[in-house]
Structures are given as C-alpha cells and as structure tokens.
Amino acid sequence: MKSRLPAPYGRLINRQKPIQFTFENRIIHGFSGDTIASALMADKQYLLSRSFKYHRPRGILTMAGQDANTLVQLPSSPNVLADKQAIEDGMQVTGQNYTGSLIRDWGALLGVFSRFLPVGFYYKAFFKPRGMWEKWAPLIRKKAGLGVIDQSLKPAYHDKQYKFFDVAVIGGGPAGMQAALSAAVGATEVLLVDENPYLGGALNYSRFDSDGLYASGLLQQLLNDIAANPNITVMTDAVCNGWFADNWLPIVKGNRLFKVRVAHTILCTGALEQPALFHNNDLPGVMMSSAAQRLLHLYGVKPGSKAVILTGNNEGYGTALDLQDAGVTIQAIIDLRKNPDYDDIAITAVKKGMRIETGQAVYAAQHQGSMRITSVEVRKLISQGICSDHGEIIACDLLCMSVGYTPAYQLACQAGAQLSYDDASAMFTITNCPDKLHLAGSVNSLWALKDVLSEATNVAHQVTNELGTTDLVLESPIRSSIPSPNHPWPIFAHPEGKEFVDFDEDLTIADIINATGDGYEHIQLVKRYSTCGMGPSQGRHSALAAARIVAAATNRTVADTGVTTARPPFSAEQLGQSAGRSFYPARRSNIHYRHLEAGAQMLQAGAWYRPAFYANKNLSTQDCINHEVANVRSNVGLVDVSTLGGLELRGPDAGEFLNRFYTFGFIKQPVGKARYALLTNEAGVVIDDGVACRFNKNHFYVTATTGGADSVYQSMLKWNAQWQLDVDIANVTSAYCGVNIAGPNARKVLEKVCFDIDLSAQAFPYMGVRCGLVATIPARLLRVGFVGELGYEIHVPQQYGEALWDAILDAGEEYSLKPFGIEAQRILRLEKGHIIVGQDTDAMSNPNEVQMSWAVSRQKPFFIGSRTISELEKQPVSRTLVGFQIDDKSAPIPQESHLVLSENQMVGRVTSCCYSPTLEEVIGLAYVPPEIASEGDSIIIKSTNGVLVAATVTKVPFYDPDAKRQEL
Amino acid sequence: MTKQETNIIAPTLATRRSPLYRRHLQYQAHFKQVGDNIVVDSYPNEGAINDEIEIAKSMGLCDLSTLDRTGFKGVGTPQWLASQSFKVPVLANTAEEQSSQSLLIKLSAQEILVLSDLLFLSEDVKRLYQKAVENHQSYDQQIYNLPRNDSHCWLAVTGINATELFSKLCAVDLRSHKFVQGAVAQTSLAKTNAIIIRHDLNKTPCFYILSDISGAEFLWDCLLDAMSEFHGAPVGLSALQTLASNQ
C-alpha cells in the first residue's frame, strides 16, 4: 500500500476500503475503485498476459480497456479486460494463453521461429495435402486460444430495457459534459453516456495547463452543473456499442442492454492515443502517455521509476511534468520533431531542465532477460522512418508514447459519416455526418479545451434549435491554431522486426508489407489476409499505422488507402447482453392444470401445451396410450381440443368467401351442418383443413389445425382484401375452449349435462352442429368424427373450459370416462385413415395425391388453387398416399420419413405409422409410386437400423370402413 | 380494515374462471364475488389493505380477467354505439371514459372495445351484449360482436413506476408525458400481442393490458419478473377500487 501516491492522486480509489485478491495464486492488495491492472501495477506485477500468436509478455498499454494486452482469466469468464474490471474481495485472477506458467511460457518459443511464420503462413502451410487442415486445426486453435470458458457456469440474468430521450450525448469528457449541459437548456430529456465509471474524460488525468490545476477546477464545475440539472440523465460504466438507423443506440451497462431511441445524437467519443512502432514496442513498461497519466491520477500508482518520453507533440511534455511531479525520474524526452513548436506546458518542462532530444526516435526497447523494459535505444532521425546507424542506450523502466491520436470514429462511420485522412495534420478526420448526428470535441479534431467547450455548446444549441425548443442565435465556434498532435510517421522498421503494428494479432511492419506483396493491396484484403484489426481491439491502435504502411507499400496516399469498416459492436459484449432475457410465449388452455393433475405428460405444439398422454405409474407409456385408445373404442373418452383454430366468418358474403377459399362447396351448405374444409394454396398444395359449421345463413364457424390457425386467418384477410366481400373474419381461437367427447357412450354421458338439445341420432345427426347449454355453459356442439367414433366437439367460452371439463368428467364417471391425449388421438385417427396436414402432407402434396379429390368441388367457378389442381389432374400421378400394414408384427415399427424402397431404390416415404391396439396390427400411411399403390401390392420399408420391413398396401380406413360407428 | 376480515371464497365456485386463478392461489389470494364472477380481492401476505394500496401506487399488477368486457367491429359499429348513447372517440387508438364510468376504446375506424368500470357502477357491457344478441345476430348490418370476455385476459399495471416496467418489455414509449390518459397502443409486450390502455385511477397511473388469454400465465409471469427490481407485486381489486374511488 505504501506504493500509492498520496491524494489528490488516485481520485478513483477509496483508501479506506482495502481489497484483497489473487493473481496467479499470489495475493494482491488493492483498494475499492482499483481495476485489476492498477492494483497489479501498484503491486509491481507488470506482466499481465501473453500475446496471441508468439506468447510475448504483455503489460499495460492504454489503461482504458481499449487493447488486448490486459486480457485475463476469471473463473467464470475469459478475456476480461484487467484495466476495466474492478477488483473484488476474493477474486481469483490468472493470466491466459500460456503453456507452463505466465512467467515461463513455453509457447514463447514460437517467437524464435517467427521468421518462418509470416503472414498467411496458415493458408500456405496447412491446406495440403487435402484434409490436413482438419488435423492441424485443433492443435493450432489450442495454441492460439484466448482463455477458457467455464461450461458448467449457470448463465447470469441478462435483460433489456428501452429508453427514450431527446438527445443522447455519447462520451462524458469535457465536450460531452458541456454538450449535455447546453442541450439541457432546451431539451427536457438529455442522456449523457460514458464507458468509464466516472465523468470528465481527460479532465481527470490529462494536463491542460502548465500548473496542472485548470482541469480539476473545470471538471468540478461541470460535475456540479450536471448534478443540479434535472434534464440530464447520466449513465456511466455504459458503452454505446453501435449506431443504428434513426438514432437507435444499443447501450450496454452491466447485465442490461438499453435500447435507446433519441431524436439527436451528439458524439463526443474523443480520440484514441496511438502507439509508435519500433523494435520491442510491445514490452511491459512501454505504454501510452495517457495510460501513465491514468495510473497516476486515477489510481495513485507510479508506472515506473525512470521514464523516457517518446513524443511527437507537446502533450508528451505534459506527461513528463506529471511523472516528475509524482517522483518519477525523467531520463529524457525524445521528441520526433526536429524543431518543436512549444506551448506553455512544453516550455515549463524545458525550464525544469529535463533532458530533451529533438529530431530523434526510440529505435528499440530492450529488456535484458526481464519481463519489463530496462532501456531504450535512441537514434537520430535521418528521414521519414529512417534512423541513423548508431544510437544511445538510455536506461529506463518506463517508456511513454505520445505520438498522436485517431478519432473514435466507429459510431460516426456506422451512421454513414466519411472518414478521411488529412495529410496536413496527419490525422483521420470525420466528415459528412448524417442529419441528427453531430460531433463535438477531439473526435472532431479539436484539441484546445476552449475550442472543445465552444464547439460543444454550439452543437448543442444547434440541436435544440432543430428540436424546436429554442431559437438561439448560433455563434461561430472558437478555433485556435494549435499544431496537430499527430506525428506523420512514428514508424521505425528494425532489421530484427518485432515492431508491432497490431498487438492483438502479433503483426509487425513486415507482415503488413508482405500482405501487400502477396497481392492483397486493398486495405480490406490486407485485414482479412493478415488479420490486422480483427482482434479484440478491432484496429483501434493499428488502423492508422496499417493505413500508413499499406499506403507507402502500394504507392498511394493514406487518404486513398483508407481504413476498414467499423461495425458494431464497438467493444466486446457478452452473448447474454445481446440475447437478453428470452421470451418464449407459451399458450395454455383453460383446462391445462386439470391435465397436469391427471398425470398428463405435456408436449408443445408451437406455443401450445397439449397433453400427450396420461401417465400411470403401473403402465408403460405405450400401454397408457393403448388403454386410452381402447377406452375410446369401447367406451368413451374426453380430449382437449382447445388448440384447434377457430375462425368466425360473418356477413352476407360469408358463404361466398368460403366457397372461394376452400376446395369444397359452401354456398348451399345447410344451416346446422358442418362440412369438411380442405385448403389449398395457389399451387394446389394442401396446406390446412378443418370443418366449417354453419350456425345461420350469414355465420360460419370454421376450425383450423393447431399449427395452421394463424396463417389461415392471415390468408383469409389477405384474400378478402382482394375480393372485398361483405364478410367479417375474426380469429377466435383463444376465445373458445374445446373438448371432444368420443366413444360409443358419448351420447349417454352428454345427455347428463345437456338438456336443451335433442342429442338423438335423428335430431342431431353426424356432421350436425347445434348451440345450447352444456352444464349450464353456453356451448357450440359439433358432431364430427376425427377419431371415428360417435363424438361431439363442444366449444365453450375459454374461461369456462375447466368447469366444462369437470362437469363432463363427473357425468362420465359411471361410464368410466377417461381423458385421452394427443398420442391416442393420433392412433385413433390413423386407424380411421384420416390424414394430418403437415405430417401426411408436404410442400408438394395436392388433393389427388392424398386421395382427397372427394373434397374438391368441380361445380364452382373458382377456389384458391383450382386452376393448378385441374391442370395437375390432367397429368399422370407420380405418387400417391396409401395405407399399409406391416406383414411381420415383430419387425421394427417404421418411423415417419423412413424410406419406401423398390429394387433398392428410394421410391417413397412413410408419413405415419404405429401399432394399432384396436386392430392389433402395425399400420401406416406412405407415399408410393402408382405402380405399387394398389390394394395388396407389396412394399419394402427401410426401418430402424436399416432393417428392411415388408408391408402390404391396404385399403383405408383400416377401421370401420363403412363409417357406421361415427354415425351412431 | 385488514385483509383477514374478507370472506374467503374459492375461485372454483364460479364456472367462469380466470386463467390466472392458480397463480393467485400461490400468492394465497383472497377472492370475492362480483356479480357472477370471482375476482381477487387482496393478497393477505402483503399485509393490510393500506399496504396493498401503497403497492398499487408504486407498482402493482392486478388480474381483471373475470370482469366484463365486450367488443364490436364492422362498418356500422361506431354509429351503432353512438346511437346507444356512447361517446365514441374520433381518433383510433383512443379510449374515452363514459359518463357511466365504463371505458370505450376505439381500436380502429371500425373496431371498438368496451370495458366495464372497476366499481361496477355500470351495466354497459351487459346491456350492449344483450342488444347485440337481440338486434345483430343475423349479421346483416355490418356490426359484429367479438368475444373479448374470453379472447383476451385483462390485466392492470398500476403505480408511478409502471412505465419503468413497460420499458423492459415493450418498445413503445409509454412514459406518462408521452402516453397520456386515454392513449392506446396495440403493440408487442414480451413478444406477445397486447392492447395497452392508459386509464389512471385518479392520481395513480394505471395501464390496462388486454392480451391473448391463452398466454395469460406467460404474460403474468413476465410482468412479475420485470417488476421485481422495482419491488412491484400483485394487488387485488380492492386496492384498485380504492384508488379509483378516492378523489
């Protein structure tokens, strides 16, 4: 703890709250407010991780969560940014991507062979002979892994929330804070977002005046003003991870993804400091100037004891002053500029007598067996990127780089802004922002604080004027003439390489040049071939250098070379944050819990829960189902059919509509009758079926399949939008709860609870429909026979379903009425030879193939698909759906989609098959060619495990072919 | 009055049962009979009725699914309802409280939803249903009744934090100053179709939700889950009635 600098250094840490955690099993002490990286640095742990490819030692680079150097492993999570992740008591942190230990990583031997592993090496080396990649891939991937996933981890709760504001200001530095305050004058709802746990950005750590006092005063004033302004909502520790159309902003905070919609977005995202390229520029101890300043001011940690500053601007001098103030010895300031144009801060450094070397560069860093730099070699700059042959070795354990910035352009470019390169300032600039997207601050290439504040105010006022809440006269923002902080070429190639362009992927200057040499000259191709910019930091620190190198290698300008596309997300986000809380709507009938209470095993049909069968602990599943079947055939059963679609068609043209929509005729359908309704599409393909019940001249109640109800309803609306018939169509599927009481005793049971309808066969015959009361509940009764027995479908208002179920079960007790499930119903219908649309039909099935021509009216002028069906009927049939019976009952029962073979060729497939407890035979339906579709023809089915099963084509229905039982 | 004084009635006494009554039983709800229907009066575990009112003022969820409601659509619907002395809003997606305190919601130019009032002062819904049965069962006058009693569950989310709850489940901006009294949104709530109606109980924000009745339990659970961070809880009808009747 003594290693910490006294306050006011360390503004983020709470020295009263010590925290203890481990890194590589070593106990580390830190404070509340520390990140893993700051606590490790304070504990003199400089080595944080190993690099992706060559397993090189890596330490702090940006201290801003913007690079892959600080990726560490937590037990629950790999690839955690150590310079973003706050420490917690008991936290167990380890390095990642090493073999052996973090200190002694055998994987680092790869670096010895780096000259044999050029860019594109994998593509060239491992793809021959054919199939070899599959052998190599596991080894390579294991070597290049990034952390370990805990697959036993229970995912944390994530969710999403919508937010709405007039203005969103992204970035809470001086520009963002001023923009928010200025916008809040006119806009009532302003959102200010910052990825850090604090507002203020560089005001927290950077030096804006020679005394180093101005920033903190300004910061406090801005913070006070924001806190006092009720129109500003502040979200810190929140990352705006993208920009989508109409200012839709995904903002990640903790385990929640905020989906924010705003009228205007002001981007104050700042600029990202860039590294210089020299030999060993990736060693621990080499870091951005801003990283060193963050360590000092935010965490009270000295980043080193002897520092060299490599600079191409005046800001490096500010860093030197900060370090010297904190007790760090400044060994030298190496200024790339031959004739620097000093500002007040630089002049102060000069006056303090620091050693300053102008027109020189750091050519290489050395580490002398240590995991941290021990010295740098400084050489004189002869021309762009070329250094003298000899230089001076300067001992140091810290090298701060201050050679320029790239605007954080990602969000702006996602919105359609253009990124250009300005040769004069050696900097990327953003132009052509779309309407309602604005820039302020260093993202817009402003570097003087007064310029930044002036522009932020101006932009915010422009926004409120556009919102119509103010009518302010816009003043021209201040533009000071200060030199660009960017040096045009802080790139110094070394004969031994290791001047890293992309730290994530271990790519050097030679790798980028070689990529262009291999013919990949376009920056997008360079990216894909070399993987430059494809790592966790997504090119934030490599895009500028890569563009410069590619431009030079291909004799183009940097402006012509450009940068690769910046796609969302801006920073890595967890899958849980994208997925959020999952919603899987579930539908239940009013009878649902009665099924559960009766032991039903439920299955899902779309969103619906349906009882598959009712379990009995003394019986196997199949026996349970067979008992249910037997009870229906010999006695009476009750099944919940609430999930069937229900469509109400009312109006003078209801009959005409159905006549056009379904294949049958409906205009002359008598009132009080149901009629089978088969639906085909324009291609003549069977897509649904049900029954149409006519309750009065202008009223039909039509059922549809469970899975097809919504699409049939939508199709009805679509067609009537064209036909403009006088009919109202309503989807009442959920409004009705339905049961089917079926079996020879069905009438006797129903008579006990239904008194106002004559249920006799004469008064209420098969395919009749009636309205009445069942157990005092208003009901629609349909005498239909899907299972092939005397039966009544009873449809009642949904909230009466459970009471109806209870009443019928009570009434049926003396007849041993039992509920039956969907599995029994499937067997029952198959015994009757009834098809299930979607199971026994496919995307090509026409009525003729499935032997439903009887359901197609030829007497009417039109129905959907009529033209196609009439043409198809002129063609020879290529397949037909037939019934079959397995010859050997002991053979494995074929399953749906098992193949029908003829002379070892596939000629058809099974659509349904089961053991029939009624017939004590294995029966099924299958598509077969017409030449083997006649009753008595033999077919071969390739059943489970390839067993060939002989079957005989059989006439359907298998059961009760004269349909006497359902007409009782 | 404490909740313990309320008579205990089983929800299964009625033939018409809310799809959520088992959820209410899990919360040990007390039920009461209103006409032919049984509704949740209160949840005794939450404390005295005054506590439940405070919950409702902050964030409450109430099941109104057994209360009466009806709907009509067709070209002739607005005119017919006007002829029945109802005030029909000019604009679609607008709700208008009637002098009888029932609520008429215009969902589109030709579709109307009518909700009974929470204090049962009005017989509007029953009267309209009866009229429709008497006059429009031949379906030749372009007025079609809809079974809203059973097609949709009816929930109420109440309290000053209600909009925070909706912001977790719905993409529509339902904040108080944007989604004002009488506003209606036909939208998606937790991936389920829903009609959301702003109808405050005096000073307490209140949002009615009508959604597919078969998904009522799913939606109820989603709402409860989303409101947990705001300490929201189920409330009975009595709390809402108190808020509705207090001036």
> In chain B, where are the structural domains located?
69-147
Å between A696 CA and nearest CA of chain B: 7
The residue written with tokens 């705003």 in the block is A262
Residue B84: closest CA among B134, B37, B148: B134
Residue B4 pLDDT:
41
Sequence-separated (6 or more) residues with CB below 8 Å from residue A382: A388
Entry field: residues in chain B: 247
Nearest-Cα distance to chain B for A730, in Å, is 8
Q: What is the pLDDT, as a whole number, of residue A370?
A: 81
Asked if A913 contacts A896 with a C-beta cutoff of 8 angstroms, the reply is yes
- DSSP one-letter string for B37-100: EEEEEE-GGG-SHHHHHHHHHHHEEEE-TTS-EEEEESTTHHHHHHHTT----SSSSEEEE-TT
Can you tell me the distance from the alpha carbon of B227 to that of B205, in angstroms, rounded to the nearest whole number? 15
- Is the CB of residue A728 less than 8 Å away from at least one CB of chain B? yes
Task: Assess A698–B contact: CB distance below 8 Å, yes or no.
Answer: yes
Identity at A397, one-letter amino acid code: D
First to last CA, chain A: 93
Name the residue ranges covered by the structural domains of chain A: 1-142, 160-272+407-467, 275-403+484-498, 500-571, 876-968
Provide, as residue numbers in chain A, all residues whose Cβ is less than 8 Å from the Cβ of B192: 583, 585
Class of domain A160-272+407-467: alpha beta
The Cα–Cα gap between A399 and A291 comes to 11
**Omega within 30 of 0 (cis) for the link into A819:** no
Q: Which residues of chain A have pLDDT under 50?
A: none
A253 touches chain B (CB under 8 A): no
Q: How far, in Å, CA of A817 to CA of A820, rounded?
A: 10
H-only helix segments in A435-573? 449-467, 509-517, 523-530, 543-553, 558-561
Beta bridge partners of B72: B112, B145
- Say whether B151 and A586 touch across the interface (CB within 8 A): no
> Chain A, 755-784: which have a CB under 8 Å from a chain B CB?
775-777
CA distance A640 to B214: 14
Cα separation of B184 and B173, whole Å? 12
* Strand bridging mode A398-402 / A306-311: parallel
CA distance A21 to A26: 8
Nearest chain B residue (CA) to A646: B151
C-alpha dihedral, B45 to B49 to B53 to B54, nearest 10°: -70
Distance CA A352, CA A897 (A): 86
Architecture in CATH of B69-147: 2-Layer Sandwich (3.30)
Q: What are phi and psi of B66, to 5 degrees?
A: -90, 0
CATH says A500-571 is which class? mainly alpha
Measure in Å the smallest separation between the Cα of B48 and chain A Cα atoms: 30
- A643 Cβ partners below 8 Å, 6+ apart? A587, A589, A605, A608, A610, A706, A733
Residues of A in contact with B144 (CB under 8 A): 648, 650-651, 728, 730
CA A267 centroid distance within chain: 25
Chain A contact probe: residue of B15, B37, B196 with most A CBs at under 10 A: B15
Chain B residues within 8 angstroms (CB to CB) of chain A: 12, 14-19, 22, 65-66, 73-74, 137-140, 142, 144, 146-147, 149-152, 167-168, 170-171, 173, 175, 178, 190-192, 212-215, 217-218, 222, 225-226
pLDDT computed for residue B45 by the predictor: 64
Q: Which residue has the tokens 């059943």?
A: A943
Give one word for A359, left, alpha or beta, with left for phi > 0 and alpha for psi -120 to 50: left
Give A159→chain B minimum CA distance, Å: 8
Each residue of A201-226: pLDDT tens digit? Answer: 999 999 999 998 999 999 999 999 99
Contacts for A228 with CB less than 8 Å, ≥ 6 apart: none
Selection from A313, A311, A307, A345 nearest residue A326 by Cα: A307
B140 pLDDT band, cuts 50/70/90, is confident
| Burial call A188-214: b when 16+ CB within 10 Å, e when fewer | ebbbbbbbbebbbbbbbbbbbebebee
Indicate yes or no: CB of B142 within 8 angstroms of CB of A651.
Answer: yes
Shortest CA gap A158–chain B (Å): 11
For domain A275-403+484-498, give the fold: FAD/NAD(P)-binding domain (3.50.50)
A1-142 placed in CATH 3.30.1330.10: no
Its sign, for the CA torsion A362, A365, A366, A367, is positive
| Helix residue ranges, H only, A481-591 | 509-517, 523-530, 543-553, 558-561, 575-579
Dihedral, CA atoms, A363, A368, A373, A378, nearest 10 degrees? Answer: -20
* Phi, psi dihedral angles at A311 (to 5 degrees): -135, 155
Query: Given A160, A589, A650, which is nearest B144 (Cβ)?
Result: A650
B74 contacts in chain A (CB < 8 Å):
728
Q: Return the number of CB contacts < 8 Å for A and B.
A: 121
Tell if the CB–CB gap between B18 and A799 is shorter than 8 Å: yes
Q: Which residue of B has its CA nearest to A585?
A: B218
Average pLDDT over residues B171-187: 96
Q: How many CA atoms lie within 13 A of A328 on its CB side?
A: 32
The third-level CATH classification (topology) of the domain covering A876-968 is Elongation Factor Tu (Ef-tu); domain 3 (2.40.30)
pLDDT at B1 over 50: no
Whole-angstrom distance, CA of residue A52 vs CA of residue A55: 6
Contacts of B68 in chain A (CB under 8 A): none
Domains A500-571 and A876-968 belong to one CATH topology:
no
- Residue B3 has a pLDDT of 41
Could you read off the pLDDT of B119-139 as tens digits, one per residue?
888 889 999 999 988 888 888
ipTM confidence score: 0.95
Distance from the A581 Cα atom to the nearest Cα atom in chain B, whole angstroms: 10
